[in-house]
Amino acid sequence: MTVARVIVDVPSRDTDRTFDYSIPPQLAGWVEVGSRVAVPFGGRALQGIVTGLADDAEVEATKLKPIAELMDAVPPLSAELVLLGEWISRRWLCPLTVALQAMLPAALKGKAEKYVYPAAGAEWSDEEAFFAGGLVQALQRGEPRKLVALLQQYPEHGDLLRLWLKQGRLEERQRVENRLSVKTVQTVFAPSAEALRQALAELPARARKQHEVLAYLREHPEPIAVERLAEALGTTSTTIRALYERGSIEIRAVTEDRDPYANRHFPASAPMTLTPAQAEAIAPILAALDSREHSSFLLHGVTGSGKTELYLQSIDRCLQSGREAIVLVPEISLTPQMVERFKSRFGAKVAVLHSRLSNGERYDEWRKIREGRAQVAVGARSAIFAPFERLGLIVIDEEHETSYKQEESPKYHARDVAIERARQHGAAVVLGSATPSLETYAAAKRGDGGMGYIPLPQRVADRPLPGVRIVDMREELKLGNRAMFSRALHEAITERLAKGEQMVLLLNRRGYATFVMCRSCGYTALCPHCEIALTYHRGAQNMRCHYCGYAEAEPKTCPSCQSPHIRYFGTGTQKVEESLAETFPGIRVIRMDVDTTTEKGSHERWLTEFRERRADVLLGTQMVAKGLDFPYVTLVGVLAADAALRLPDFRASERTFQLLTQVAGRAGRHELPGEVIIQTYDPEHPSITSVQGHHYEGFVRQELKLRHVFGYPPYGRLIGVTFSHESVPMLLSVGQRFATRLKEHAAAERVGTDFSDGTRDVLEVLGPVASPIARLKDRYRFQCMVKYRGEVDASRLAAQALRELDDAVKKNGLQVSVDVDPQMML
Ligand code: ADP
Ligand code: ZN
Ligand code: ZN
């Protein structure tokens, strides 16, 4: 193979194809599919990934430019990952390079730097060599140097350099460089005992410090960093260097991992004896692992049912068979607590990947995987790309979490990627959750793609699930209580304070969407066509649907009960904190929200403080709902259970139910029994009543009915297409053209256009309508929603319709963003 097909790292539609380069003879056999290379491209140097190899014969008879550089001896991506990238780019409609780059650690995203080279055939006269000998020699050796470096070294020859560049005898060319490399440490290696004795004997008596160093090495012959040795002996690295110069000791640069957990000790943990229910649950997973054939499971277990122990034992079986495992957990639950469970069981075999690592730490954890030094990767979403080559198992904990979907391009969902990767490897996938997403639940119940359903309905050791009380805030208002805390919650907090027990308070508020709600009866306006909460627009003083564009005026009194207490709704964690301090003097509160957790490590610090019982209350947004396990928490309070119900998103009910169930699971996980109090204006809503009975099936049955009527997932699928531009008429016209073209393409493939008829293959296009964020940075935003079901390849049809708009889009500077299977409808 003499030709490499390269995807260059320029994310545009024009460059979203391979370009051919010849492989220079010295790199023959080194350049592989998945190699990272630097290539010349229209006068620039670019980084690229080799996605294919070919023979001269297969290529057009043009003269190819050679690859400029091979960036790594071992390709950072495998052929399997390159194929996966191609699949992602088709599935989520993004340029291939964007998908490939998402798989690489930031350290490997090369940047181009300019270097000075002698031009071909350039020569220097004897006279020039006489005047500027050092500089000319340096140039003639042909080593590329940066202009600034040359100027620094030869400040007196600045004018000459400028002249030669102007004459074209020197030229600046780009070269791609890594942003970051491995960390090396200068390390001392002691010689043999015999050599050491001799070195000591030969050392002049006055070199006292050097004597000390050698004496120390005689006692401690293991390799030691120069810095550390100097520190241990109260000397300087110069002393140690002097010994190296004498040839008494060896000093070499040694690669050292930047390990974020280097100073932590993880006590070893042995597998637990499984309960009968756990043993039954794990059996099909172990059988699948032994068969080495691809399979997937939904492990549907209530909080505290022992799912994590099953993950651990499944991983164990996977490792025993010589294969590797990936565990995904939501970013937010990647707390030391979670990491500890994996490190304690599998020790140094574990690499941890999450966004709070520095680029260097992340790169080193990634290298542990690539170089086969780690067999288990625990991490957030992007750990799904861990470069294992013998993958046996992928576990996704809390599979319903929205953080598994990336909100920027590539807008992939880690769950779908996991199943695709597992298929390639013949690996098993275990999706775990107490509150599975409706998509996964429906798939497992139907057995789509052979997915198995494994229920685990009881907590380990029959610890009871906490009792849940629902407080109707409309009643509180009637009784004249306008405070944030209902009488029940007030009482419960007072009681916990007296007993010295701890509490978690959740303020269920996210997003910036405002909705209008009646505080007397809980009425909220919904779109009659989409069953979606209408969003309040301050400017126009009306309420609008962000799916279909329906609008109505803001009501002055409640249409349902005529109460004047109707207004838009929302309160912040800071206000709750103040109110707590006023109502319960002396109460110790830790507030955790986006404002208090931006600093690196702050998240962990707050949780440690709370664990050590230096606070009574942990108050926060969703962040306090997940994965936390504190023995003294006996009360969970939810302040505004309704807020998330009213988001303009068809998953609002599902999200609310999941969040409330999760947070309820924080109470009474150990010996002390727990209690949950949920304050709401809508006490009959199934999302809320189902939490009371820990009744997932009950909730799902009702919710699925609604989804079916409106054709939402799992009964239909969606693609969101957002157009943005300064001009509204332009947006409307392009949006309409897109909708029309797409419908025509669908019709040409005999796809129905109406969800309510019985046809199997249907595609509907809603919009264009103004986006929920109607204007961003002076650009207006309009969106179309594509809703489809059956075997329709809507991604392909949408891509086709978009390609036909290409000219209009490019000429007018219109921006298009496509979200396939969107998770956030904002
Ligand atoms: P989940 O992941 O479903 O929330 P965990 O795996 O965290 O559940 O288990 C809940 C608690 O029960 C943990 O404290 C765990 O150590 C304990 N546990 C799990 N399995 C067993 C078992 N077989 N025997 C005893 N304790 C167990
Ligand atoms: Zn009302
Ligand atoms: Zn609507």
In terms of C-beta density within 10 A (0-12 exposed, 13-18 middle, 19 or more buried), how is residue 598 classed? exposed
Cis peptide before 267 (omega within 30 of 0): no
What's the CA-to-centroid distance between 622 and ligand 2, angstroms?
28
User: Of the ligands numbered here, which is closest to the C-alpha atom of 766?
Assistant: 3
Query: Which-ligand-closest: CA of 304?
Result: 1
- DSSP sequence for 496-540: HHHHT-EEEEE----SS---EEETTT--B-B-TTT--BPEEETTT
Q: Could you identify the residue written with the tokens 């230096």?
A: 614
Q: How far is the CA of 764 from the centre of ligand 3 (A)?
A: 14
Q: With contact defined as beta carbons under 8 Å apart, do 545 and 534 qualify?
A: yes
Which helix (H) or strand (E) segment holds residue 442: the answer is helix 438-446
The hierarchical CATH code for the domain 717-820 is 3.30.70.360
Q: What is the number of residues in the chain?
A: 826
User: Are the C-beta atoms of residues 12 and 95 closer than 8 Å to each other?
Assistant: yes
The two beta strands, 428-433 and 391-397, are parallel
User: What's the gap in Å between 306 CA and the centre of ligand 1?
Assistant: 4
User: Ligand 1: residues whose CB is within 6 Å?
Assistant: 272-275, 278, 301, 303-309, 460
Cα separation of 548 and 561, whole Å? 27
SS3 227: helix
**Which atom of ligand 1 approaches the CA of 274 most closely?**
23
610: amino acid identity, one letter: F
Q: Are strands 376-379 and 324-328 parallel, antiparallel or unpaired?
A: parallel
The pLDDT assigned to 388 comes to: 97
Separation of 83 CA from ligand 2 center, angstroms? Answer: 56
Query: Strand 542-544 and strand 551-553: pairing?
Result: antiparallel
pLDDT reported for residue 464:
77
Count of alpha carbons within 13 angstroms of residue 576, beta-carbon side: 26
Q: Considering the entire predicted model, what is its pTM?
A: 0.84
What is the CATH architecture of 467-510+572-703?
3-Layer(aba) Sandwich (3.40)
826 exposure class (CB count in 10 Å sphere: 0-12, 13-18, 19+) = middle
- Which residues crowd ion ligand 2, with CB under 5 Å? 518, 520-521, 523, 558, 560-561, 563
Walking along the chain (826 residues) 10 residues at a time, the average pLDDT comes out as: 92 90 93 95 91 82 85 92 96 95 90 84 84 82 82 88 89 80 85 87 87 89 89 88 88 84 84 96 98 97 91 98 96 75 94 87 93 95 96 97 92 97 97 96 94 92 83 91 91 96 83 68 82 74 79 88 78 81 95 75 85 94 76 90 78 90 80 87 90 88 91 92 90 93 92 81 90 74 91 91 82 88 78
Closest CA to 651 of 524, 818, 526, 532: 532
φ, ψ dihedrals at 525, nearest 5°: -80, 130
pLDDT at 570: 55
203 backbone dihedrals φ, ψ, rounded to 5°: -70, 130
Q: Hey, what amino acid is at 477?
A: L
| Burial state string for 312-342 with b = 16 or more CB within 10 A and e = fewer than 16 | bbbbbbbbeeebbbbbbbbbbbbbebbbbbb
Ligand 3 centre and the CA of 551: distance in Å?
A: 8
- Any bridge partners for residue 225, and if so which? 187
In CATH, the architecture of 276-460 is 3-Layer(aba) Sandwich (3.40)
8 Å CB contact between 692 and 660: no
For 3-110, CATH gives 3.40.1440.60
CB 626 within 8 A of CB 332: yes
Helix (H) or strand (E) holding 396: strand 391-397
Residue 109's pLDDT is 84
